[in-house]
Amino acid sequence: MKLTRRHIITSGIMATAYARASLAATPEEIGWPDLIPPGVPYAKIIGEGELDRVGDTWSPIFDVNATKLNERLDGAYVRLPGFILPLEISAKGVTDFILVPYVGACIHTPPPPPNQLVFAKAKKPWPDEKLWGAVWVVGTMRTQLQSTEIAQTGYALSVDSMETYEW
């Protein structure tokens, strides 16, 4: 087979496209501190709070720093560990959930600030028998404040894959 100029150019374009696609498929591993914008100390995202003596709970009062988001993560392909707080469960498992930084967040305690909560929508259901363990989620992150029935979230994640977090 004789290589023509057209074959060489087409091969070069395809190789470049393949290289870009393989780079895009490698998620950036991030942690919960990365969700807070640079320059905002963690201690500044939770303001004062109120103690409900009757209900024996503490309700945080979030200030403007709690809703500040790391805009660098908007559109980023990431890998983030966390715990599942299910919103939508079917017989096949969980698809819609809030990813939280620690077990029990939003259930037994007041919710973390919005910039520490991620609304996640998985393409493939996560089995409900694995709900209480830590997970890694991989997908495309968006900075997006939104309210759910449980808490206000600061990020949305379109989840491509999930796996059990191994200690």
Can you give the CATH number for the domain in which 85 is found?
2.40.50.870
* Residue with more model confidence, 87 or 62: 87
pLDDT in tens, 42-60: 777 776 777 777 876 667 7
SS3 label, residue 56 = coil
Q: What DSSP element (H or E) covers 16?
A: helix 5-24
In a domain, 73, yes or no: yes
In a domain, 52, yes or no: yes
* Residue 114 domain-assigned (yes or no): yes
Query: Within a domain: residue 112?
Result: yes
HSE at residue 59, side-chain half, CA atoms within 13 A, is 7
Most confident of 42-46, 84-88, 120-124: 120-124
Q: Who's near 43: CB < 8 A, 6+ residues apart?
A: none
Say yes or no to pLDDT of 5 above 90: no
Q: Domains in the chain: how many in total?
A: 1
Residue 25 tokens, joined: 């498929």
Q: What are 7-13's contacts with CB under 8 Å, separation 24+? A: none
Rounded to whole angstroms, how far apart are CA atoms 31 and 160? 18
Residue 35 lies in a domain: yes
115: in domain: yes
Is residue 15 assigned to a domain? no
In the structure, what pLDDT confidence band is assigned to residue 117 with cuts at 50, 70 and 90?
very high
The model's pTM = 0.78
Q: Which domain holds residue 112?
A: 27-164
Q: Is residue 97 part of a domain?
A: yes
